[in-house]
Amino acid sequence: MKKIVFAMTLLLAAATTAYSQTAQSVLDKAASVINAKNGVEANFKMTGGMGNVSGTISVKGRKFQATTPVATMWFDGKTQWTWLKKNDEVSVTTPTEAQLQAINPYNFINMYKDGYKMTMSTSDTEYIVHLTASSTAKKVQEMFITINKKNNHPTQVKMLQGKKWTTFDITSLQNKTLDDAVFRFNAKDYPTAEVIDLR
């Protein structure tokens, strides 16, 4: 009888450990990867309501720089610069959190702790965290964030703005040492561009 009780205790402990991951802790670990001290780089593919485009993104905390065939964007934590290749113009803005989410798949790390309810499902290799806004005032009403179990890397961010879903598929995430200058527009690199300040 003691052996049976002991075996049941071990099984219960194992089950508790297996399910001890919460949506909050999973997102906390993913956020710590993205918030790496020196920065990270990745490839992404965006599909959905805002069109389809592929590119690369560099992230360091709140800062990011994204490059696609049609545009390059820089955000230094406060100011955003967007260079459009077609007309060689740079617009300068101070974006909202919702605007940042629309162009930076990693911005969820700055949003999930405030104003969202979380649930989570799992597969053999991934966690899928579902966030729903607590208030209709939130521009992003729902998000699904898929995270690799082995390395805590976000592999997909799917979000609902208005009635349109946008999906970011993320690959080749790696740590990089990124200087803060990476996240600011340098006019010397775009000598013919017209700069339009919309702040």
- Domain regions of the chain by residue span: 21-197
Beta bridge partners of 164: 161
CATH homologous superfamily for the domain 21-197: Lipoprotein localisation LolA/LolB/LppX (2.50.20.10)
pLDDT in tens, 17-74: 334 479 999 999 998 888 877 899 999 999 986 678 999 999 998 899 999 999 999 9
Strand order in the sheet with 164-175: 116-122, 126-133, 140-148, 154-161, 164-175, 40-48, 53-60, 63-67, 71-75, 80-84, 89-93, 194-197
Q: What is the pTM of this model?
A: 0.80
Per the CB < 8 A criterion, the answer to whether 170 and 64 are in contact is no
Structure tokens at 148: 């690799």
**Alpha helices in the chain, H assignment, sequence order:** 2-18, 23-34, 97-103
